[in-house]
Structure 1
Amino acid sequence: MKPLPFAALFGSLHLLLALVVQGSGYPHEDAYILFKYARHVAAGLGSVYFPGGPRVEGATDFLWMLGLAALNRAGLEVALAAAVLSAIGFALVSRRIFIAVTEEHANATEALLLSLFFAALWLVHPASVAGALGFSATLFAALSLELYVALTKSRPMAVLGFATVLALLRPDGVVLGAASVAVAALYAWRNGPRRRFFLSLVGALALGAAYFGARARYFDTLLPLPLIVKSHHGPMPPGLWEAADWASSTLLPMTIGGVLLAAVTRRYAAPSSAMALAPFVVHVLAFIPSFPSQNIANRFQAPFAVVLFFLVCKMAAYAVERHRRATPVARAARAFAVLGLAVVVLAPQGLVAFRALREPFLPDYVNPFSVHLAKLSEQRTRGGAPPLKVASTEAGRILYFTQGPVLDLVGLNSRETAERAPSRALLEAFDADVIMFHHASGMNEDQMEATGVDVFGKGPATTTTPVVRLTEPLWRYVHPWNALYLDAALKPYRELFADNVRVAPIATAGWLDEVGDRYEHYAVRFEARFARRHVYAIRRGLREREAILMELFRCHEPLLHGSHWAAVKLLRRE
């Protein structure tokens, strides 16, 4: 088998995995955010969070968004477009694995079997799963691997090309690309082509400056909103524990595996290969100073993880091939030992991937409810009323399908809440019909259930009650250590030394208490590690109030969980 058919085969398998996710579950919550921007760009509305809204840069993955928008414009649904682009990235890595194994293995049949084995492991790698969930991680990691190969082969012009694409694909690509170009510049200075490389570098820098200037003028901000939001945190580097967790699941076991394989084969990395890893180390370290939200399946560290995976595959293939003159039994035993080692060192990453892949299929009321909320809003507009206005801390699914005005309370997609908590004036001016927030462990859920009323059971609430009507002011549920965020005159996040995710819901609760009986408050059951209740505020007297409450209750039924494709078909019929 040739590399291209092999890559196409496994690219198709990855596409199938993504289609299973979309057909039986849903893409990840955070992937929907970028889907929404791509859909609006494809429709000619520009980079807006809702039709008629202001230009905002909530979608940081520029080339990824343009790719999704182009495919959507051509007729592909946005989630399907994401699956196609991820499959291309998966195929690129599969091709590299096939080439690396066949270079290390003389026997074509054995090389094919080894390639199939490693590509199967790649299918369940966290970087692969993140792509199947709708993120750009698989394609980004694939291009990063091509960048690494170009570095190891001392091809500075190729490095410059891949670095430029990565910088435009995702913001952290600037870090990886810049570090890689620095290494390539050393290669070019020593071995050439000096003139061509440095002239091209000037051109790439000019392109980057033009892009930065154009986007700053288009959005009227220097940085994308998610980068601003993630820069807010306490005194300790917020990404430190995330980096340590990734190191324990990926870097440490893969390094141990690599050292053992090197000791067995007595073949150690060339200086060029070791130096080529330096940009990937810099890339991982760059995430430590930022708040590590949205790092699904360790997707931010995917480039380094995939390079390590590639190196282990290459070393394992050589270890199997090295003792070709041994007896068949000895060769088979050695092969099983080497491949077993590969499985063992990849096992922690497999657990990360499994947890991430399981989530789309677990019943979660938010998935079907977001669709039914959009239907209620659409029915409202057909009756001549304006669409529902929704404010939420959950910027993905709950706001994806609705076409009316929306406010992102955390600030990933709303400029007014990126630098500081939602103000009283902002919330008053937006005048939402429905407010929903995740309190981020900032409120006492036991007290909510102890004092609340089961909306449909007409009795006291319990821990399993789907919809609880809250009978006390919201401030009574706020934990004492978060009470300061109820203040109407909060300082900007940078001065608070606190992150948006923790402050925004409490600040919103403070305003809801001030406006008194304008809203009715509810706590809705959901499944998560550190919380079990979303808080809803529904405008008192809203015509759709009873229908919204009924959908919140009905959508807890597992049989109504549905899927992304079922949701798309349902809304198209309306």
Structure 2
Amino acid sequence: MSERLWIYPLIAVAAYIALSVYVLWTGHPHEDAYILYIFSENFAAGEGISYFKGGPPAEGATDFLWMIALGVLTYAGIDVALAATILNGVGVGILVFALSLFLPLRQLGNRLSHVIMLGVAVIVILSPITEASLAGFSTGLYSGIIALFLYIIYRNNDNLNLLIPFIGLVLGLFRPDGVIIGVSGALVGLLNSYKNEGLNVYLKSSAICFVLGCFYFFWRYNYFGSLLPLPLYVKGSSSDLLPGLASHFKWVGQSAFLVIMAMLAIFLSNNRRNIVLMITPVLLLFFFLSFATLSQNVSYRLQAPGTVAVLVLATLFVSYCLASKSKNKKLSVVMLGLYVFSILQYLDDTVDYVHYAQGGAYINSFPFYLKDYASSSTVSGLTEAGRFAYWLPGEKYDLVGLNTKKTAIEGASPQYISKLDPDLLFMHHAGTAEFSNVCNNKKWCQITSEELFSSIEAEKAGVWDEYNYGVKRAPLAIFDFLGSSKNRFDYYVMYYEGGFNHFYALKKSGEIENFQFEKALSKSFQDKNGRSYLDLKNAF
């Protein structure tokens, strides 16, 4: 990269970090991002990879290398969310740089190259990749690595091809779905090396990565005692035939204009073979994701590799329009129009997410205030396993199963909850109950046993064992447990995201007393206490 074009990846890095810090200063990371922060902070504190201090090893953090990287930076004294900001900022810069590699900058000329690179930086900063990164997930760094991976496949250079197995290994260690991209990309590299007569060296590098991968899986099985990360057990439990397919269509809708540019790039390219081989790993990923329940799919982060591929193809389309010898002015106008509409679409989505992060929901600060009344011996059973578990001390058990092995594999049951003997149960009832008429226009209220059990949908009462999917099974198991534990708990419902969706059961003889719970709850619903993440952490 010449003629000072390197400044645009740096602009992207600076813009992302500034926006991310602004979100943390005025709002909060996403609920599910807190889960991985828990594992990273415990790892940094020498507690191993566990969901709570002193807890058993648990692979709830599916982004293994991301969790380790955050843990290292946290150990170095950097706040975990700010560490995520730094790493994702680097990833966004890598993504912009990788996209520039697909541009024939010398043919475009100095002035036009600057204009295009600015456009690349802007579209990346406003993309769903950035949006998911602002939520606190690993999407920015992961996408940057994928972009380099796709470029190497596209270039089909023997020397660069040797990197494919190593980058594929990194992707597999970064995220579980990275295994699909890494393995399929390595097979594409094998095909290209065979045709280029560089097969022997490529096989040697592949063998090294295979041994390293086997060593990792041997270690993780011995450490965690399970073949797969816990969320994969939960997400694979749907009874629907293709539960992920609807999410794919919604993702296409969010990036519709760039998808059109991508399709035009494939149609018009003279290098269609390399393009098809390049996007094959992403297409395979989408195929396999169609069979999974895509929960925790904030800003379509699970389709981020697809967003990267679309950005790459759109960049190739720009190259065709502006750098080809037979420039087509009408096609260039179409290209500019599609780009502008993409910017407007992405801008609207990003602004909406920033407002959501700044929403001031009570749950952002409630566990922070409640932690003063809990201790290391407090036992909590949760279906919302992020913010609450992050702030509250004690033993935490994820009844959905994303972070607790027992419920991930066997599912929650009233008997299991009884053995936990929880001081506190907290859940999103996921539509299994209707509490809209119990609080008389208040934001929260305590309810009686009669009000609780009359609010549970009649056809779902007592049928918790008919559900495999933990999001539905866990609330029903909790209600069944409470039905056999009457007079032992106080019940509360809270207004959250358009309805009374949050439910708490507080043990009357537990560590947290009724008045303490209500005091923390009242503070969290007061606007003056709607404090941001960095305010709560006092990270600056």
| TM-score, normalisation: structure 1 | 0.87
2:422 is matched with 432
For these two proteins, the number of residue pairs brought into alignment is: 534
SS of equivalent residue, structure 1 residue 517: coil
The yes-or-no answer on 1:474 pairing with 2:471 is no
1:316·1:342 contact (CA, 8 Å) conserved in 2?
A: no
- Deviation track 1:428-450 (CA, whole Å, cap 9, x = no partner) reads 2322222111010111223xx2x
1:553 is matched with 522
Give 1:207 deviation, angstroms: 1.1
Q: Distance in 2 between matches of 1:100 and 1:470?
A: 64
- Deviation track 1:522-545 (CA, whole Å, cap 9, x = no partner) reads 1111114xx432111112255532
2:443 is matched with 465
2:537 is matched with 568
| TM-score, normalisation: structure 2 | 0.93
Give 1:388 deviation, angstroms: 2.8
Segment drifting more, 77-86 vs 227-236: 227-236
The yes-or-no answer on 1:505 pairing with 2:495 is no
Q: Give the alignment partner of residue 261 of structure 2, picking from 257, 260, 269.
A: 257
Q: Give the alignment partner of residue 135 of structure 1, picking from 134, 137, 140.
A: 137
1:467·1:553 contact (CA, 8 Å) conserved in 2?
A: no
1:474·1:513 contact (CA, 8 Å) conserved in 2?
A: no
Give 1:18 deviation, angstroms: 1.2
2:362 is matched with 365
Q: Distance in 1 between matches of 2:60 and 2:265?
A: 44
SS of equivalent residue, structure 2 residue 461: helix
SS of equivalent residue, structure 2 residue 194: helix
Q: Give the alignment partner of residue 508 of structure 2, picking from 510, 532, 540.
A: 540
1:297·1:353 contact (CA, 8 Å) conserved in 2?
A: no
1:306 is matched with 308
- Deviation track 1:90-111 (CA, whole Å, cap 9, x = no partner) reads 0001112334445275321221
Aligned CA distance change for structure 1 residues 409 and 281 (closer, same or farther; 3 Å): same
Show the 5 A alignment for 1:107-186.
107-154=109-156, 155-186=160-191
1:93 is matched with 95
1:524 is matched with 494
Q: Distance in 2 between matches of 1:189 and 1:40?
A: 46
Q: CA RMSD for the aligned pairs?
A: 2.4
1:437·1:536 contact (CA, 8 Å) conserved in 2?
A: yes
- Partner amino acid, structure 2, of 1:33: I
Segment drifting more, 398-407 vs 424-433: 424-433
2:62 is matched with 60
SS of equivalent residue, structure 1 residue 437: strand
Give 1:463 deviation, angstroms: 4.4
2:296 is matched with 294
Give 1:554 deviation, angstroms: 2.7
2:86 is matched with 84
SS of equivalent residue, structure 2 residue 81: helix
The yes-or-no answer on 1:248 pairing with 2:226 is no
Give 1:359 deviation, angstroms: 1.8
1:455 is matched with none
SS of equivalent residue, structure 2 residue 503: strand
Segment drifting more, 400-409 vs 355-364: 355-364
Q: Give the alignment partner of residue 30 of structure 2, picking from 4, 28, 31.
A: 28
- Deviation track 1:52-75 (CA, whole Å, cap 9, x = no partner) reads 111111111111111001111111
Show the 5 A alignment for 1:327-476.
338-345=335-342, 347-377=344-374, 381=375, 387-446=377-436, 449=437, 452=438, 461-472=439-450, 474-476=452-454
Aligned CA distance change for structure 1 residues 23 and 121 (closer, same or farther; 3 Å): same
Give 1:124 deviation, angstroms: 0.9
Q: Distance in 1 between matches of 2:384 and 2:307?
A: 29
Aligned CA distance change for structure 1 residues 324 and 116 (closer, same or farther; 3 Å): farther
Give 1:470 deviation, angstroms: 3.7
Give 1:267 deviation, angstroms: 4.4
1:166·1:177 contact (CA, 8 Å) conserved in 2?
A: yes
- Partner amino acid, structure 2, of 1:257: M
Q: Distance in 2 between matches of 1:465 and 1:69?
A: 37
Segment drifting more, 1-10 vs 238-247: 1-10
Q: What 5-or-longer segments of structure 1 have no aligned partner?
A: 453-460, 491-495
2:161·2:193 contact (CA, 8 Å) conserved in 1?
A: yes
Q: Distance in 1 between matches of 2:382 and 2:337?
A: 47
Give 1:322 deviation, angstroms: 4.9
Q: Distance in 2 between matches of 1:258 and 1:273?
A: 10
Aligned CA distance change for structure 1 residues 151 and 462 (closer, same or farther; 3 Å): same
Segment drifting more, 292-301 vs 314-323: 314-323
Q: Distance in 2 between matches of 1:536 and 1:255?
A: 44
Give 1:202 deviation, angstroms: 1.7
1:102·1:108 contact (CA, 8 Å) conserved in 2?
A: no
2:71 is matched with 69
Q: Distance in 2 between matches of 1:86 and 1:517?
A: 49
Aligned CA distance change for structure 1 residues 415 and 84 (closer, same or farther; 3 Å): same
Q: Distance in 2 between matches of 1:510 and 1:325?
A: 69
Aligned CA distance change for structure 1 residues 335 and 418 (closer, same or farther; 3 Å): same
1:48·1:55 contact (CA, 8 Å) conserved in 2?
A: yes
Segment drifting more, 533-542 vs 181-190: 533-542
Give 1:241 deviation, angstroms: 1.4
2:461·2:480 contact (CA, 8 Å) conserved in 1?
A: no
SS of equivalent residue, structure 1 residue 88: helix
- Deviation track 1:235-292 (CA, whole Å, cap 9, x = no partner) reads 4322121122223333x543422445678xx545431112211111001121111111
Identity %: 26
